[in-house]
């Protein structure tokens, strides 16, 4: 069945850009957010802001969720009088939130019983990738549901591989963000060492980025948001803390011991006083901050 109207639930740093991209690419887009302050920027981007959640859940041909936590995804997917009551068509939910595979599998089964589908489709690429339609998405779910969602996935992303069954997208996203969390800590420490030993962070990064210590953190994030001192990537430290916690919970459930990652998690969880949840996550690589920040 053709998808003409897409409902986007969660119009924050990521969801607003995704909704704007879908509108620009010809979909009719209905947007909902708990915060009505998201209405004006949504309307300015060609998105119809709908103040009642069920009006989006009952009218859209497909849904995109961009929500902070798994509990928000669950609340929206199972909202009373919402998607679970609908029998007019199969609705595919593309959940782009970084969530946990257990909740995803449970919700996917519940929606399937009601004749719908939930794909875990977490994203990488930040608010600019969302606004430009160049995200990398990693999709878990049944092959036929992936095929159904293809036009929407293609509009939002440069790449959206189907990585496996329900929950597989969440797994690979948590693996990715565990690496990002660690790289931010180690890159910040390495640059602090460089400055303390007499070579500026700028000079060190320029060389590292042509050598073997480089990463997406040193190549993209550090020049753009750390050396510049702007710290405005649009991803909150609190959300990264959630990702690290979910990765460690997945490790415990899977029976693997990750000693270095556990220490990285302690550094993230223990740094709230100097890097509050509302601060930008790139603050973790702030080599100018004292050791006490970690
Ligand atoms: P955000 O906090 O900017 O936006 C979340 C939006 O959801 C807010 O506007 C909030 O009001 C709304 N919301 C919360 N609960 C709701 C509910 N029950 N119903 C409707 N709206 C609700 O967060 P974000 O940075 O856009 O991130 C969204 C998701 O994408 C998170 O899971 C995050 O981990 C993930 N993510 C973010 C980035 C990034 O760079 N910002 C990158 C990749 C993945």
In a domain, 31, yes or no: yes
In a domain, 290, yes or no: no
In a domain, 14, yes or no: yes
Q: How far is the C-alpha of 248 from the C-alpha of 258, rounded, in Å?
A: 8
Last residue of a domain, one of 104, 130, 165: 165
**Nearest residue by C-alpha to atom 19 in ligand 1:** 34
In a domain, 265, yes or no: yes
66 Cα–ligand 1 center, Å: 5
Best mutation site among 7, 8, 11, 14 for ligand 1 pocket (most ligand atoms within 8 Å of CB): 14
Are residues 75 and 174 both part of a single domain? no
Residue 173 appears among annotated catalytic residues: yes
**Nearest residue by C-alpha to atom 9 in ligand 1:** 12
Are residues 128 and 184 both part of a single domain? no
252 Cα–ligand 1 center, Å: 26
Give, for 71, the enclosing helix (H) or strand (E).
helix 70-77
Q: Which atom of ligand 1 is nearest to the CA of 72?
A: 18
Are residues 159 and 199 both part of a single domain? no
235 Cα–ligand 1 center, Å: 9
CB-based contacts of 87, cutoff 8 Å, min separation 6: 115
What pLDDT is recorded for position 290?
64
138 Cα–ligand 1 center, Å: 17
Are residues 86 and 45 both part of a single domain? yes
280 Cα–ligand 1 center, Å: 14
Distances (CA, A) of 35 to 13, 49, 51, 144, 273: 13, 11, 9, 34, 27
Task: Check: CB of residue 240 under 8 Å from CB of residue 281.
Answer: yes
In a domain, 55, yes or no: yes
Last residue of a domain, one of 140, 165, 190: 165
Q: Which domain holds residue 231?
A: 170-285
pLDDT in tens, the chain (294 residues): 799 999 999 999 999 999 999 999 999 999 999 999 999 999 999 999 999 999 999 999 999 999 999 999 999 999 999 999 999 999 999 999 999 999 999 999 999 999 999 999 999 999 999 999 999 999 999 999 999 999 999 999 999 999 999 999 999 999 999 999 999 999 999 999 999 999 999 999 999 999 999 999 999 999 999 999 999 999 999 999 999 999 999 999 999 999 999 999 999 999 999 999 999 999 999 999 864 444
Last residue of a domain, one of 165, 197, 219: 165
Q: Which atom of ligand 1 is nearest to the CA of 99?
A: 32
What pLDDT is recorded for position 291?
47
**Nearest residue by C-alpha to atom 30 in ligand 1:** 97
Count up the domains in the chain and report the number.
2
Are residues 195 and 150 both part of a single domain? no
Are residues 38 and 108 both part of a single domain? yes
69 Cα–ligand 1 center, Å: 8
Are residues 159 and 190 both part of a single domain? no
Are residues 160 and 29 both part of a single domain? yes
Best mutation site among 98, 239, 244, 247 for ligand 1 pocket (most ligand atoms within 8 Å of CB): 239
Are residues 16 and 150 both part of a single domain? yes
In a domain, 258, yes or no: yes
Are residues 160 and 179 both part of a single domain? no
In a domain, 118, yes or no: yes
How many CB atoms neighbour CB 291 within 10 A? 7
CATH assignment of the domain containing 77 = 3.40.50.720
Q: How far is CA 80 from the centre of its chain?
A: 26
Q: How far is the C-alpha of 222 from the C-alpha of 226, rounded, in Å?
A: 5
Q: Give the bridge partners for 28, in sequence order.
A: 5
Q: How far is CA 51 from the centre of its chain?
A: 24
Q: 230, 130, 220: which is closest to 183 by C-alpha?
A: 220
Among the listed residues 25, 90, 173, 242, the single catalytic one is: 173
CB-based contacts of 214, cutoff 8 Å, min separation 6: 208
Are residues 179 and 105 both part of a single domain? no
Task: Check: CB of residue 166 under 8 Å from CB of residue 106.
Answer: no
Backbone φ and ψ of 166, nearest 5°: -50, 130
The DSSP letter of residue 286 is -
Are residues 210 and 139 both part of a single domain? no
Q: 124, 90, 95, 98: which is closest to 107 by C-alpha?
A: 95
pTM as predicted: 0.96
CATH assignment of the domain containing 236 = 1.10.1040.10
In a domain, 293, yes or no: no
Task: Check: CB of residue 141 under 8 Å from CB of residue 110.
Answer: no
Give ligand 1 pocket residues (Cβ under 6 A): 9-15, 32-35, 38, 66-68, 72, 75-76, 97-98, 123, 126-127, 234-235, 239
């Amino acid at each position: 069945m053709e998808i003409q109207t897409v409902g986007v639930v969660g119009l924050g740093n990521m969801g607003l850009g995704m909704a704007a991209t879908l509108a620009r690419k010809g979909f009719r887009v209905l947007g909902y957010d708990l915060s009505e302050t998201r209405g004006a920027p949504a309307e300015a981007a060609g998105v119809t802001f709908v103040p009642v959640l069920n009006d989006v859940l009952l009218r859209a041909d497909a849904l995109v969720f961009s929500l902070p936590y798994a509990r928000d995804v669950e609340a929206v997917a199972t909202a009373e009088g919402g998607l679970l009551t609908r029998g007019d068509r199969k609705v595919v939910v593309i959940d782009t939130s970084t969530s946990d595979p257990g909740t995803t599998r449970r919700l996917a089964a519940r929606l399937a019983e009601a004749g719908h589908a939930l794909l875990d489709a977490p994203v990488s690429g930040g608010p600019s990738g969302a606004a430009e339609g160049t995200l990398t998405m990693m999709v878990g779910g049944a092959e036929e549901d992936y095929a159904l969602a293809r036009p929407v996935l293609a509009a939002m992303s440069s790449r959206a591989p189907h990585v496996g069954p329900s929950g597989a997208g969440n797994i690979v996203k948590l693996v990715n963000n565990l690496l990002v969390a660690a790289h931010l800590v180690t890159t910040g420490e390495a640059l602090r060492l460089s400055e303390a030993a007499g070579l500026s962070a700028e000079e060190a990064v320029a060389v590292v980025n042509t050598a073997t210590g480089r990463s997406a953190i040193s190549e993209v994030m550090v020049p753009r948001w750390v050396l510049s001192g702007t710290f405005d990537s649009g991803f909150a430290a609190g959300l990264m803390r959630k990702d690290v916690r979910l990765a460690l919970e997945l490790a415990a459930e899977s029976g693997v011991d990750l000693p270095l990652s556990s220490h990285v998690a302690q550094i993230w969880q223990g740094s709230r006083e100097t890097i509050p949840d509302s601060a930008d996550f790139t603050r973790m690589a702030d080599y100018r901050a004292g050791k006490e920040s970690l």
